[in-house]
Amino acid sequence: MNTPLRRWSYRRPLPPLVALVLAWIACSLSPSPSPPTPTFPIPPLPTAAPTVSPLPPDAFATAPRYSISLAIDPAAAQVTGYEEIRYTNTENTPLRDLYLRLFPNTPGYGGAVRVTALRLNGETVSPEIRLGGSALRILLNPPLAPQQSITLNMAFTATVPLTDEIDYAQFAYVNGVIALPNVYPMVPVYDDEGWNVEIAPGYGDAVYSDIAFYQVEVTAPPTMTLIASGECSVPEAGRWVCAAGLVRDFALVLGDNYEVASGVAEGAIVNSYFYPDHREGGEQVLQIVINALTIYSRLFGPYPYAELDVVETPTRAGGIEYPTLIVISERLYDGHPRLEWVVAHEVAHQWWYGVVGSDQVDQPWLDEALTQYSTLLYHEFLYGSDTAAAILESDFQRIYDQLVDEGTDMPAGLPVAAYPRELYSPVVYRKGALYFHALRQRVGDESFFAILQTYYRRHRYGIATPESFLQTVQAVTGNAQRDLYERWIMGTSR
């Protein structure tokens, strides 16, 4: 997720699209002709993504399976759904209960969802309502043994807010656009802390989930355009069938009047959906995504999905990431200088959150700080060392120095809820990113990019932790460089 427009300070103009096209004709993303500074010696961009060994065919046999049917009524701003979840206990201990998250009932979403019927293995059950209706606890009797599975069937209804005044308006029907992330009940992560069901503040990401498989049938007015996670069939009389595999959640957007520009990057289809009067901005977004997907694939590891869609919506965030789907604020499409940074940031989340999962609620730095630094790498490899050094100074170091001067510095490694709203972005996104820059300066580019590639390879489709990142640093360099972690992530200047 990117921060709201009112907090942005970066004002670098978007370079002409012609320059980008010429760069691709030259088959390279060349740095600026100016000599590189000592801070940013740019290695050549690899000509192909690093090789990643295929996983065994049965590697995800126990991943959750979701089969969902959604009937969307825009006139009533309501969704009626039916859902089946096949869940397998992959822990080494029996599970005595299971939770479902109802994210529309959280303050940050501001909608409402109600489960009207629920069956466990064919038997009707009455769950306990927890966390203000945002979680349902289902007792399992007998407990679910390791490697055993259960099937949940349910019916639900959801009401969508008709305003963009609720936090980031990520779940809303505004200006003819219906944004429906996580409209369905979903199973959270079970880890060493148990079920992760806490409510995140509205200014942070709310979803912490495992890789899963989705098959979703959507019915809606046939005049609308559907954009969703995964790949969807050509609509027939207002009915779409979508499939998404190895993704952490499922999101969809419906709009009355979208146009689309498409391209290809690293073998993936890229689609940019935009309002008719924003064609220039929509085409710029397409080129940014193509550039970013290429750079990140070659620096970190291949983008593993067949498609990546970017959609203009009324969200009040700059942008929000979902699996194979990114939403970007309509306020950026009319020549806003922040457009490129936001789009490149959200594309990087496809690696750091999408493929490599982490606890976005309790350890937000692990995806957000790395995504911010990845966005800096995008600018470095595309525009050169001088541009990257200027951004590092203005958007990262200067903001951190201001925290220190004002006595508001905090550790970057805290849960979202530990930060006042006004400090969340400066500490987690800016200060946190300086950790990765300090690590790069110490170990050098060859080892630094080997760390990121190894981290991606080890944790793809899994859940990473701060400790497992440090173990990756240890494996690549022979030293976990814990002093940098303690300095930038867990420490303060006070």
The pLDDT assigned to 239 comes to 97
User: 330 lies in a domain?
Assistant: yes
User: 353 lies in a domain?
Assistant: no
User: 19 lies in a domain?
Assistant: yes
pTM given for the model: 0.91
Of 348, 370, 396, the residue that ends a domain is 348
Asked if residue 6 has pLDDT above 50, the reply is no
The pLDDT assigned to 47 comes to 84
User: 418 lies in a domain?
Assistant: no
Instruction: Look up tokens 């969902």; give the residue.
Output: 68
Of 255, 285, 301, the residue that ends a domain is 255
Residue 155 pairs in a beta bridge with 82, 117
The pLDDT assigned to 494 comes to 58
Asked if residue 38 has pLDDT above 80, the reply is no
Across the chain, what does the average pLDDT equal?
Answer: 91
User: 188 lies in a domain?
Assistant: yes
User: 466 lies in a domain?
Assistant: no
CATH number (domain holding residue 300) = 3.30.2010.30
User: 311 lies in a domain?
Assistant: yes
Q: How many domains are contained in the chain?
A: 2
Of 348, 378, 410, the residue that ends a domain is 348
DSSP state of 132: G
Q: Are residues 221 and 337 in the same domain?
A: no
Q: What angle do CA 213, 91, 183 make, to 5 degrees?
A: 35
pLDDT tens-digit series, residues 427-451: 999 999 999 999 999 999 999 999 9
Name the residue with higher pLDDT: 111 or 45. 111
Q: Are residues 195 and 94 in the same domain?
A: yes
The pLDDT assigned to 1 comes to 78
Expressed as residue numbers, the domain containing 214 is: 65-255
Confidence of residue 48 (pLDDT cuts 50, 70, 90): confident
Q: Are residues 184 and 212 in the same domain?
A: yes
Phi-psi region for residue 85, left (φ > 0), alpha (ψ -120 to 50) or beta? beta
Q: Do 177 and 169 form a contact (C-beta atoms < 8 A)? A: no
Q: Are residues 234 and 86 in the same domain?
A: yes
Which regions of 35-111 does DSSP assign to beta strands (E)? 65-73, 78-88, 95-101
Tokens of 368: 């957000």
- What is the rounded average pLDDT of the residues 246-274? 97
User: 306 lies in a domain?
Assistant: yes
Bond preceding residue 142 cis, omega within 30 of 0 = yes
Q: Are residues 116 and 18 in the same domain?
A: no
Q: Are residues 131 and 25 in the same domain?
A: no
Alpha carbon distance 358, 461 (integer Å): 10
